[in-house]
A and B are shown apart, each in its own frame.
Chain A
Amino acid sequence: MPYIPHTDEDIGAMLERIGIRDIDELFDEIPKELRIDSLPGVPAALTEMEVARLMSERAAQDGRPLNFIGAGAYEHHIPAPVWAITTRGEFYSAYTPYQAEASQGTLQVMYEFQSMIASLTAMDVSNASLYDGASALAEACLMAVRAHRRSKSAHILVPVTVNPAWRRVARVITEGQGLVLEELPYCTEQGTTIPQVLERYAGQDITALVIQQPNFFGQLEDADALARWARANGAQVIAVTNPVSLALLTPPGEWGEGGADIACGEAQPFGVPLSSGGPYVGFMATRLEHVRQMPGRIAGRTVDLEGRTGFTLTLQAREQHIRRGKATSNICTNQGLLMTAATIYLSLLGPAGLARVAGACVARTRELVEALTTRCGVRAAFPGPRFHEAVLLLDRPVVPVLESLAAAGIAGGYDLARDFPELGHALLVCATETRTSADIETYARTLHRTLGRAAAAAGVRP
């Protein structure tokens, strides 16, 4: 009986103690007509060895393509200690630290994570993580409505340069509470939001303006100008950032002098593997004045009966297990394990290491764009400064090109056709510090061959 320790003797003794003949009698309060006696559709048990073989075969089937996709999830080097420690049973198999005295490890990691996020974003306070970046943006929108007491409109401006999947998620999660998320157009020449489009909203009751920096295309927005407009027009600023970039870029807390009101995003780049999309770890930070409107777990430092330093969950009156229907969110947990990985990652990288990772990302992406534009006949869609992603324009539909690259073992980027058809055949590519010059050369050579062969097949000279 996998994972069930009962011997026949145990079972007999336990049934006797309870005063019943067999285990089935324990279910005698369940109406008979509802009970089942088998589970068709569930295969028979395998041993660990058999499942290990199966999983290894399936993993081998997927292979390990050379990755140039970003679009919200980023491949970075993960230091060996990160998961060696994160998967220690004491972290892995503990639950939410309701019993603070028996959970000081998890609570202190939460406090350290909060400290790191607050410092990176230059905000006062952070929570101990949310599910992922997309849901963090949704929660930030809901929070802005609660925090902005003068605004009655629940009207939030969301530039189209914000990750389109995150915009969809924010819409789904906020819809029930009547939020209006209005999209702001961008400049198709620059790939950034045009501050002038905001003038149309001057004098209106706008609850918040979302600013993603770097934006979904990897381009740098004029975050200062956008934040200044928001401040001048009585709207809050919700910052969405890639936290790796914050080693180099102006943090949300300093945008446009006044700074953002809420900063959120995806901390997956901090030691969390790509893993087909999750589990990841969203983050959220804010100003002290808004802390009671923030969703999610928060750990605080305090003292015990003997005056020793200790940590505990704090401001729990915001949460569902206390406030029930009046809570700030229905969120029950944070993303504890991934938050632990991110905290260990940041301790190992430190300010200097993280700045180097960010710098290498910028440099590698520049190298990639240069190689592909000079050698493969593609061109960069936007000229301005960028972080570690770029939009390339192809002369033909992107999907067949990506399929051809995949067949050659390259995950070549993300097709923008679904969300940005106005850009034509646009491909979003990314190179982090994990891509070497040789990797970039491989990509350029393969893309050249792919585009050339397709052109030849169509009777066109490359």
Chain B
Amino acid sequence: MKRIEPVIFDLSRSGRGATAQHPPAAETAIPAQFRRRRPPVLPEVSELQAVRHYTRLSQLNYSIDTQFYPLGSCTMKYNPRACNSLAMLPEFLGRHPLAPAATGQGMLACLFELQEMLKAVTGMAAVSLTPMAGAQGEFTGVAMIRAFHRAHGDLARNEIIVPDAAHGTNPATASMCGMKIREIASLANGDVDLAALDAALSPATAGIMLTNPSTLGVFERRITEIERKVHAAGGLVYYDGANLNAILGKVRPGDMGFDVIHTNLHKTFSTPHGGGGPGSGAVGVGERLLPFLPVPVVGRDGDRYRWLDERDLPQSIGQLSGFMGNTGVLLRAYVYMRILGAAGMRRVGEFSTLNANYLLQRLREAGFDAAYPERRASHEFIITLRRQTREQGVTAMDFAKRLLDYGYHAPTTYFPLLVPECLLIEPTETETREELDGFVDALVAIQREAEADAAMLKGAPYTLPVRRLDDVRAAKQLDVAWKPAGA
């Protein structure tokens, strides 16, 4: 039976509490002028009530641990439990970020080796682990490109070229860095339109941001030509590592000529997505951008490790987080990479691509339309439901919602924006063939349902804790914080 879990505040009773967690009362002697007049409204519940409430809430989620989660461009692969438990050893958890480096040599050794491994798999000259998310890695990259041009007195370069298939974070990042955005089109075969690129390049070009394989699920075949054109125009080339999983161990961004990349450790290196964070967006640079790396970076003097800061890297773009980034996430990525090893890294690229191409093949055989039928899939691919929308009146959203009823998380919908009614499907390498087959069966069954009773699909999902939600009401009658009755 479906059961709505109340908001924790509605469980609250004045005077109740998880008192085993409360320290003894102490005399504080804060002068009255600084004191809060009314206590904050926080829940007053027993420990069991809190435990039961949040356990129940967890059970309302779909997750990798419970469902196939083929969310395109997000790389929802298994997050090995060892990565979590070994990053949560008490010594690692208890270490203060400003404690002397002498008391962090074990942690720093892991981070230093992680930098080295990331250099090896990306082909870049140096790595900084400090960006706290993919979007912050992007920010870092564009800020370094900006710093590079400034250092060369090239102040007019204020345009970033972004293909129309790019993640929204690319143009948003360029704006944050004070850059203008030049969007260029993709060709019908998914590759970048080189004529559009030529037209966009100018003395104002600071650089280009590319995802390769792109979010269209195909490898940009003329990458070397693009790289040469942008460099010849005086711009730099940025690699958005969102899809690094597809090519891990098979081809490296550094070898493709990129000047700077960010990697999403929460995608390719399997650190948890955590319901939307924490991420970690380590950046790698080629020789050109080396002086501008964000601080801190782990350095090694003989057999001792220490943090390098602005005093060591005077041209650094600076510091991006309160301390040194998401160390706990970095340790998880480190454990993951050590368990996989060199051969395991290569298998990531191989088997994520195998799973995607197999799934694409099976769906095509089942009558679904690939957006780029003449292309190999990378680790993800796009199905377009344009025909179903025309013939049955059902949309990609209807398919996505109905998939939830079949026990699958939906693929990414309506992204990239240039393919109508699209499902961007990324199965990852950690799924079995049976799971992929089951997903095909579900989509086939939904297709039959669409043909028989399109209206039914419009009402999906039916079996989840809630049915489709009123987003318009959510925005118009804004309720984003609980208020006591009558308040």
Contact yes or no, B317 A250, CB < 8 A: no
- State how many angstroms separate the Cβ of B23 from the closest Cβ of chain A: 4
Residue of A42, A56, A69, A246 touching B96 (CB-CB under 8 A): A69
- Taking the complex as formed, is A115 at the interface, i.e. its CB lies under 8 A from any CB of chain B? yes
- State how many angstroms separate the Cβ of B195 from the closest Cβ of chain A: 20
Residue in chain B with minimal CB distance to A309: B4
Residue of B167, B177, B351 touching A4 (CB-CB under 8 A): B351
Residue of A41, A54, A319, A346 touching B338 (CB-CB under 8 A): A54
Q: Mark A1-32, 1 if CB is under 8 A from B, else 0.
A: 11111100011011101110001101111110
Q: 9 more A-B contacts (CB under 8 A) besides A67-B94, A347-B54? A: A36-B252, A39-B345, A54-B338, A71-B98, A77-B21, A100-B469, A266-B322, A273-B94, A320-B172
Q: List 9 A-B contacts (CB under 8 A).
A: A55-B89, A90-B63, A93-B65, A277-B322, A288-B478, A314-B471, A343-B54, A346-B43, A406-B103
Contact yes or no, A178 B474, CB < 8 A: no
When distances are taken between beta carbons in the complex, the residues of chain B under 8 Å from A119 are 40-42, 481
- State how many angstroms separate the Cβ of A378 from the closest Cβ of chain B: 19
Task: Give complex CA distance A451, B7 in Å.
Answer: 54
- Taking the complex as formed, is A238 at the interface, i.e. its CB lies under 8 A from any CB of chain B? no
Contact yes or no, B61 A23, CB < 8 A: no
When distances are taken between beta carbons in the complex, the residues of chain B under 8 Å from A27 are 247, 250-251, 349, 353, 376
- State how many angstroms separate the Cβ of A162 from the closest Cβ of chain B: 12
* In the complex, chain A residues 263-317 whose Cβ is within 8 Å of any chain B Cβ: 266, 273-280, 288, 291, 297-306, 308-312, 314-315, 317
- State how many angstroms separate the Cβ of A299 from the closest Cβ of chain B: 7
- State how many angstroms separate the Cβ of B300 from the closest Cβ of chain A: 15
Q: Mark A315-329, 1 if CB is under 8 A from B, else 0.
A: 101011111111101
One of A143-151, A227-235, A356-364, A442-450 at the interface? A356-364
Residue of A40, A60, A104, A246 touching B60 (CB-CB under 8 A): A104
- Taking the complex as formed, is A236 at the interface, i.e. its CB lies under 8 A from any CB of chain B? no
Contact yes or no, A275 B319, CB < 8 A: no
- State how many angstroms separate the Cβ of A377 from the closest Cβ of chain B: 22
Contact yes or no, B322 A326, CB < 8 A: no
- Taking the complex as formed, is B241 at the interface, i.e. its CB lies under 8 A from any CB of chain A? no
Answer whether A43 and B338 are a contact pair too, CB < 8 Å, given A115-B482, A274-B97, A348-B50. yes
Contact yes or no, B7 A108, CB < 8 A: yes
Q: Mark B472-487, 1 if CB is under 8 A from A, else 0.
A: 0111011111100000
Task: Give complex CA distance A323, B58 in Å.
Answer: 31
When distances are taken between beta carbons in the complex, the residues of chain A under 8 Å from B404 are 99, 101-102
Q: Mark B384-398, 1 if CB is under 8 A from A, else 0.
A: 000000000000000
Residue of A52, A176, A308 touching B176 (CB-CB under 8 A): A176
- Taking the complex as formed, is B431 at the interface, i.e. its CB lies under 8 A from any CB of chain A? yes
**Contact size range, A:** 35 or more
Answer whether A163 and B468 are a contact pair too, CB < 8 Å, given A29-B219, A111-B480, A297-B276. no
Residue in chain A with minimal CB distance to B160: A325
- State how many angstroms separate the Cβ of A138 from the closest Cβ of chain B: 9
Residue of A5, A248, A276, A280 touching B431 (CB-CB under 8 A): A5
- Taking the complex as formed, is A200 at the interface, i.e. its CB lies under 8 A from any CB of chain B? no
When distances are taken between beta carbons in the complex, the residues of chain A under 8 Å from B60 are 90, 103-105, 108
Contact yes or no, A3 B61, CB < 8 A: no
- Taking the complex as formed, is B366 at the interface, i.e. its CB lies under 8 A from any CB of chain A? no
- Taking the complex as formed, is A141 at the interface, i.e. its CB lies under 8 A from any CB of chain B? no
Contact yes or no, B273 A96, CB < 8 A: yes
Answer whether A101 and B94 are a contact pair too, CB < 8 Å, given A247-B39, A277-B322. no
- Taking the complex as formed, is B235 at the interface, i.e. its CB lies under 8 A from any CB of chain A? no
- State how many angstroms separate the Cβ of A95 from the closest Cβ of chain B: 4
Task: Give complex CA distance A462, B426 in Å.
Answer: 68
Q: Mark A166-208, 1 if CB is under 8 A from B, else 0.
A: 1011011101111000000000000000000000000000000
Contact yes or no, A325 B28, CB < 8 A: no
Contact yes or no, B96 A39, CB < 8 A: no
When distances are taken between beta carbons in the complex, the residues of chain B under 8 Å from A131 are 132-133, 136, 277-278, 321
When distances are taken between beta carbons in the complex, the residues of chain A under 8 Å from B146 are 176
- Taking the complex as formed, is B100 at the interface, i.e. its CB lies under 8 A from any CB of chain A? yes
Task: Give complex CA distance A251, B320 in Å.
Answer: 27
- Taking the complex as formed, is B286 at the interface, i.e. its CB lies under 8 A from any CB of chain A? no
Contact yes or no, B168 A321, CB < 8 A: yes
Q: Mark B180-219, 1 if CB is under 8 A from A, else 0.
A: 0100000000000000000000000000000000000011
Answer whether A276 and B28 are a contact pair too, CB < 8 Å, given A102-B464, A349-B42. no
* In the complex, chain A residues 82-120 whose Cβ is within 8 Å of any chain B Cβ: 83, 85, 87-106, 108-109, 111-112, 114-116, 118-120
Contact yes or no, A351 B109, CB < 8 A: no
Residue of B105, B318, B409 touching A102 (CB-CB under 8 A): B409
Contact yes or no, B347 A279, CB < 8 A: no
- State how many angstroms separate the Cβ of B296 from the closest Cβ of chain A: 9
Residue in chain B with minimal CB distance to A138: B320
Answer whether A356 and B84 are a contact pair too, CB < 8 Å, given A29-B375, A112-B482. no
When distances are taken between beta carbons in the complex, the residues of chain B under 8 Å from A83 are 88
Answer whether A92 and B465 are a contact pair too, CB < 8 Å, given A13-B433, A48-B339, A62-B106. no
- Taking the complex as formed, is A79 at the interface, i.e. its CB lies under 8 A from any CB of chain B? yes
Q: Mark B344-358, 1 if CB is under 8 A from A, else 0.
A: 111101110111011
- Taking the complex as formed, is A34 at the interface, i.e. its CB lies under 8 A from any CB of chain B? yes
Contact yes or no, B76 A95, CB < 8 A: yes
Contact yes or no, B172 A362, CB < 8 A: no
- State how many angstroms separate the Cβ of B103 from the closest Cβ of chain A: 6
Answer whether A362 and B30 are a contact pair too, CB < 8 Å, given A5-B430, A94-B64, A325-B175. yes
Listed residue (B37, B58, B80) with the most chain A CB atoms within 10 angstroms of its CB: B58
4 residue pairs, one from A and one from B, having the closest CB atoms? A89-B65, A45-B341, A277-B323, A41-B120
When distances are taken between beta carbons in the complex, the residues of chain B under 8 Å from A456 are none
- State how many angstroms separate the Cβ of B10 from the closest Cβ of chain A: 11
Contact yes or no, A91 B275, CB < 8 A: yes
Contact yes or no, A17 B76, CB < 8 A: no
Contact yes or no, B132 A279, CB < 8 A: yes
